[in-house]
Chain A
Amino acid sequence: MRGTQVAALRDGVPAGLPDILDVVAGFDEALVRGFARVGEQDAAALAALAGALAGTPLGDPVAEAAGKVTAGSVTADHLAVLAGARSALLGAAHDALLGQLDAALGRDRSPWPVTDPAATPAGPEPAGGPAAGARAWLHEVAVSGWRGVDHELLTAAGTPIETALAVPGLRRLAVLLDGLTAELRASVPVGTMPQVPARRWADLWARGMLLTQAAPPAAPGTGTVSGRLLPLGVDLHEHDTAVQAQVHAILEPADGGPPRLVRTTVGAAKVDTIVGPAVWGLLRACPVLLAALAQRRAVTVTDVALHGGDLRWDDGRARLGEPADPFATARVLLGPATAAPTAPLDRHPVAIAEPVLLEGRVVRDDDGTLTVDLDGHPVAVDTDRLPAGGPLTPDLVAAATALLGLLRWDDGWSVQPLAVLATVKKQPVEAHNGDWADGVTDARVAKAEARAGDAVAVLRERAGRLLRR
């Protein structure tokens, strides 16, 4: 990234974005108070939401739902329409921001294929299906509002989550609800919280509501691909009961096509006491991918499925290749690579995660915040996104001379570090998020891990004795 590109990101705020975000914020504040009794302020927020969608295919249903909810008729169907309206606005925000990013970076992105409307998703899930319990729970939450969430309401989420976990097509819903309820459980009584994360919880509520409607449509244009995969870095996601490693990489197709920017993702279910570097142990079914990350090597893939930019990992179709320096990959191939579009349901600013290489000085403010200086243009560094399972620390990032990261937007642009080249005590140091994928290489951390013992082994032993088979 160059300074002029940073300036283009900072100065080119998409037209209408602040207005969209204000409408969303109004809805989110209403959800904090709940829809049991809609006051004047929240009625205005619902009317603004309907107004923002006026003239679109969602316009009439949203106006009707907003009117009914304001009048006290809060049905799950009305709430689903409101969730859809909020998601549509943030989807538009996503598209505008990604467009701005592509323009600033000169990044080429393939369009989402036009599909036959008759072929897209089956109708909504019939009432009484496996997602009905989750929908009813989200309905109850919206009525009580975040401030009204109590132990009883949280206990009531148990059965819907268990049901959703048992249905493979509802895993996304189950994982979302597990993450949301864990936060609520830790925050109860929410009424006494000094501050409610209004946007965040409304995001999760709205996405959950959409996921209870129907299974998301499969990405069109699905095919298989062969070629050389050059990892740029890995982004780790986790909450109490799920972990996911998302590898950003350049795919050089074997048929000689242009390089493509892809993501490949592997994950596992887990429990809250498996944290830090131990999460890699849950991904051992993918030894080739873990070795490629830990040893910084290329991978040759043969006939693997590619859905848009999502390369479905299949360890059996992957072979470890030659050493491949992610910084060199970024320098040479990030420019010419073609990026992929985001699936419609996933379009939300949180989905923006675009690999970038920043070669500049890192500056630490008095309050500890880090920024990269590119020809006098600062980029904020999101040190909250340094994973517990990797070697990157705020101190190491502060010493960086080059940083490979993901450009993200969360009420402003920032970069999430994936790897750094740094100078520590006059010595060059290189560290990547995936360095510990095959085992911790830092003696001090490895010792602490050994002291805590093997959580997975202890729990598997207990499960073997106690779970009815």
Chain B
Amino acid sequence: MADADRAAWRRRSVLRVVAPARARKLAKVPFVELADGRLQGVVSSGTDIERVYVSSVTATTHAYHCSTNNNRPCGGLRGAPCKHLHALADEAVVQYGVDRVARYLRVEVDDTVATGRQVLSRMDTRHEPTPAAVVFSRFLRHLAYLELPASPAPLPELQWFPSTVAGR
């Protein structure tokens, strides 16, 4: 960025600071986020429609965990990330792009890294149990947005957030 562009950028009210999330199929991994210093989310069980797995990787320590929402450890964790963590990382890359996921997790990646699974393989990961409740309650809050009644009045603050063609 040239200096003139930088100065102009600091003086504008409407800027695209973050690219919008990209649309993806939600059936397998209904929820992914980069928040609380973790890549975290919820993965639907392939066998039991009532069950979901809560999976996460911490940015600073690269510690991972996977369990059911009732805190029962995932049977797939055998000294390495399970298939739910792979699915979570892959969908995170679809949603946010590989650069943003890698930057958040503080992983150095090159052009050969295209999937979440590849990002995970570049990390020196270790297993460390974390409670599922925090992530699961964030997922429930996420779902609760769809139940919120619409505002009856206009929201003038959304003038700062124009819809943008980027990402299509």
Using CB atoms and an 8 Å cutoff, list the residues of chain A in contact with chain B: 21, 25, 28-29, 151, 154-155, 162, 165, 168, 171-172, 175-176, 179, 182-183, 185-187, 194-200, 203-204, 207, 211, 235-244, 246, 263, 265-273, 275-276, 278-279, 285, 310, 312, 343, 345-346, 348-351, 353, 383-389, 392-394, 410-411, 416, 445, 449, 452-453, 455-456, 458-460, 462-463, 465-468
User: Which B residues, 38 to 89, have Cβ-Cβ distances below 8 Å to chain A?
Assistant: 44, 49-50, 52, 69
Main secondary structure of the interface of B (DSSP, over half): loop
In the bound complex, CA of A26 to CA of B157 (Å): 23
Q: Is the CB of A386 within 8 A of B164?
A: yes
Q: Is the CB of B158 within 8 A of A175?
A: yes
In the bound complex, CA of A26 to CA of B139 (Å): 40
Instruction: List 19 contacting pairs A-B, 8 Å CB cutoff, sorted by A.
Output: A151-B36, A172-B156, A175-B157, A195-B10, A200-B14, A207-B157, A237-B158, A273-B23, A312-B153, A350-B159, A351-B156, A383-B165, A387-B162, A388-B163, A416-B162, A459-B146, A463-B147, A467-B143, A467-B147
Number of interface residues of B (CB under 8 A): 63
Given contacts A21-B11, A154-B36, 19 further A-B contacts (CB under 8 A): A155-B36, A182-B18, A186-B18, A195-B10, A200-B13, A237-B158, A239-B158, A244-B158, A272-B95, A275-B21, A276-B168, A278-B23, A351-B156, A384-B162, A387-B164, A388-B20, A411-B8, A452-B23, A463-B146
In the bound complex, CA of A175 to CA of B145 (Å): 11
Q: Across the two chains, which residue of chain B brings its CB closest to A175?
A: B155
B160: min CB distance to chain A, Å:
6
**Using Cβ atoms and an 8 Å threshold, which residues of chain A touch B16?**
384
**Using Cβ atoms and an 8 Å threshold, which residues of chain B touch A458?**
26-27, 30
B146: min CB distance to chain A, Å:
6
Cβ-based interface call for B142 (8 A): yes
Q: Is the CB of B146 within 8 A of A453?
A: no
Cβ-based interface call for B148 (8 A): yes
In the bound complex, CA of A182 to CA of B147 (Å): 20
Q: Across the two chains, which residue of chain A brings its CB closest to B60?
A: A151
B17: min CB distance to chain A, Å:
4
Contact of A393 among B13, B35, B165 (CB under 8 A): B165
A385 and B11 in contact, given A151-B36, A155-B36, A246-B154 (Cβ under 8 angstroms): no
Q: Is the CB of B162 within 8 A of A385?
A: yes
**Using Cβ atoms and an 8 Å threshold, which residues of chain A touch B26?**
273, 453, 455, 458-459
Q: Is the CB of A236 within 8 A of B163?
A: yes
Q: Is the CB of A411 within 8 A of B11?
A: yes
Cβ-based interface call for B123 (8 A): no
Q: Across the two chains, which residue of chain A brings its CB closest to B27?
A: A458
**Using Cβ atoms and an 8 Å threshold, which residues of chain B touch A385?**
14, 162-164
A269 and B159 in contact, given A28-B10, A200-B12, A200-B14 (Cβ under 8 angstroms): no
**Using Cβ atoms and an 8 Å threshold, which residues of chain A touch B126?**
none
Q: Across the two chains, which residue of chain B brings its CB closest to A460?
A: B146
A345: min CB distance to chain B, Å:
8
Q: Return the 4 tightest CB-CB contacts between A and B, nearest first.
A: A387-B163, A237-B158, A265-B154, A236-B163
Contact of A270 among B145, B159, B162, B166 (CB under 8 A): B145
A199 and B13 in contact, given A240-B21, A275-B20, A452-B25 (Cβ under 8 angstroms): yes
Q: Across the two chains, which residue of chain B brings its CB closest to A462?
A: B30
In the bound complex, CA of A29 to CA of B95 (Å): 33
Q: Is the CB of B154 within 8 A of A197?
A: no
In the bound complex, CA of A175 to CA of B166 (Å): 22
Q: Is the CB of A459 within 8 A of B143?
A: yes
